[in-house]
Amino acid sequence: MAATRQAPGGAILLAALALPGLAGAENAPEQASISLKYLDYQDRQPNLERVGVHSPSLELVLPVAGRWALRGALVSDLISGASPRYHTAVSGASRFSEKRNAADLSLTRYFARASATLAAGRSKETDYDSRFVSTQATVSSADNNTTWLFGAGVANDRIDPVNRAVKDEHKRTLDLMLGVTQVLGTRDIGQLVLGHVRGRGYFSNPYKFVDTRPRTHDQNSALLRWNHHFSASGATGRLSYRYTTDSYALRSHTVQQEYVRPLKGGWTLTPSLRLYTQSAARFYFDPVYDTRFGAPFPPGFSFAARRDLSADQRLAAYGALTAGLKVEKQLGRDTTLDFKWEQYWQRAGWRLFGSGSPGLERFSARSIQAGVTHRW
């Protein structure tokens, strides 16, 4: 359902930046690879399991003629549970079950000190159809110590909710990115990425009461990364910080630390910790309701007046903590098994740099992902 697709902007290009080594114009892959993964996700409030997701995925990477690489991926999400209609209030009427299928394809051309990628993809649900195209390029200096990154992507989404709150609505997004990766020494590498997302169209949630959002949404972000290699142990520390600001007046800070520790026997452990905090959107209202109409209408609500309002708790002010552990096992030269667990906790009282939004239930989520990758 469309409520599951209300993700923050920037997803088109930021997904391409999930590079553990902050790689720039890396070489073309020498081997083909296939990866099978399965994700199990469950979030909950006190005494209530909310949304669950079961998601198998397949990724295939093929080197072509030594200078090209073709990558394709398929994902199928089975989503079910109970999504709050307003703030953290859940009723039987808000239960749902949905299936989402997604596919994307990219082609990369590698040069001596550069690379260029063209990608396209589609995500389809009963009530939400999203299509995107993107391009990305990297250019390295003569000594390969500095790499510049450029990216642009456009997405076109069509929204047709089953409750007929709206019909044939659209959302269009332009995603721009500029970054630089710098070798800082024999054991350190850093990266700075600036992003801008421009959205126009339908951003409201048709399945929530009193949810009317602006038809424009612009977001700016800055991402800093630093990797440090510990030569004595062979481990690598990864530290990142991301700041975002948008036209909703929502400000967020994310700090993440990972520690990649190779062990004997082909094992690798990667514990991680992520801290997140955000302010509330300017049109979010706290769970205090009008004495005439009751929940979910805010005090002074008028059916005649049209103004931006939302009781979506994801637009509230809160803080969150995520702890994770990834375990990898190398089987021979060409096969890798991996297992990743993450636990997420969210509280209004954990917001930094200000007060959290009052009256929200505690929220937590658990995700488990297992996979296998084979190269040949």
pLDDT, tens only, 44-91? 998 888 999 999 999 999 999 989 999 999 999 999 998 888 898 887
Residue of 346, 351, 292 lying closest to 323 (CA atoms): 346
Rounded CA-CA distance 225/14 in Å is 13
SS3 26: coil
Which helix (H) or strand (E) segment holds residue 12: the answer is helix 11-14
Answer whether residue 155 shows pLDDT above 80: yes
Give residue 43's domain range: 2-375
Q: What is the mean pLDDT of the chain?
A: 91
CB atoms inside a 10 Å sphere around CB 112: 10
Q: What is the CATH number of the domain that holds 274?
A: 2.40.160.40
Residue by residue, DSSP assigns 320-371 as EEEEEEEEEEEETTTEEEEEEEEEEEEEGGG-SSSPPPTTPPPEEEEEEEEE
Assess contact for 53 and 78: CB atoms under 8 A.
Answer: yes
Among 93-107, 318-332, 336-350, whose mean pLDDT is lowest? 93-107
* pTM for this predicted structure: 0.90
- Segment 191-200 shows an average pLDDT of 97
What are the DSSP calls for 91-119, one per residue? -GGGEEEEEEEEEEEEEEEE-SSEEEEEE
What span, in angstroms and rounded, lies between the C-alpha atoms of 281 and 277?
A: 13
The mean pLDDT value for 313-334 works out to 96
CA distance 139 to 143: 12
β partners of residue 105: 72, 120
Residue 299 vs residues 243, 249, 302, 364: alpha-carbon distances, Å: 33, 22, 9, 29
DSSP code per residue over 43-87: EEETTEEEEEEEEEEEEEEEEETTTEEEEEEEEEEEEEEE--SBB
Residue 28, classed as helix, strand or coil, is coil
Cα 72 to Cα 104: distance, rounded to the nearest angstrom: 6
Specify the 3-state DSSP secondary structure of 266.
helix
What's the confidence (pLDDT) of residue 11?
A: 53
Angle at 77 between CA 72 and CA 81, to 5 degrees: 165
Q: What are phi and psi of 218, to 5 degrees?
A: -115, 140
Say if residue 116's pLDDT is above 50.
yes
pLDDT-derived band of residue 209, with 50, 70 and 90 as boundaries?
A: confident
- Residue bearing the bigger pLDDT, 287 or 16: 287
Region label for 168, one of left (φ > 0), alpha (ψ between -120 and 50) or beta (otherwise)? left
* Helix or strand (DSSP H, E) at 261: strand 251-262
CA atoms within 13 A on the CB side of 331: 9
Q: What pLDDT was estimated at residue 82?
A: 87
For residue 296, cis peptide bond before it (omega within 30 degrees of 0): yes
Report pLDDT for 13: 54
Identity of the residue numbered 311? A
The closest alpha carbon to 319, from 261, 360, 258, 374, belongs to 360
Task: Examine the pLDDT at 24 and tell me if it is beyond 50.
Answer: no
16 pLDDT above the threshold of 50? no
Q: What letter would DSSP give residue 204?
A: S
In the chain, the number of structural domains is 1
Q: What DSSP element (H or E) covers 14?
A: helix 11-14
Question: Rounded to 5 degrees, what angle do the CA atoms 145, 272, 343 make?
Answer: 145
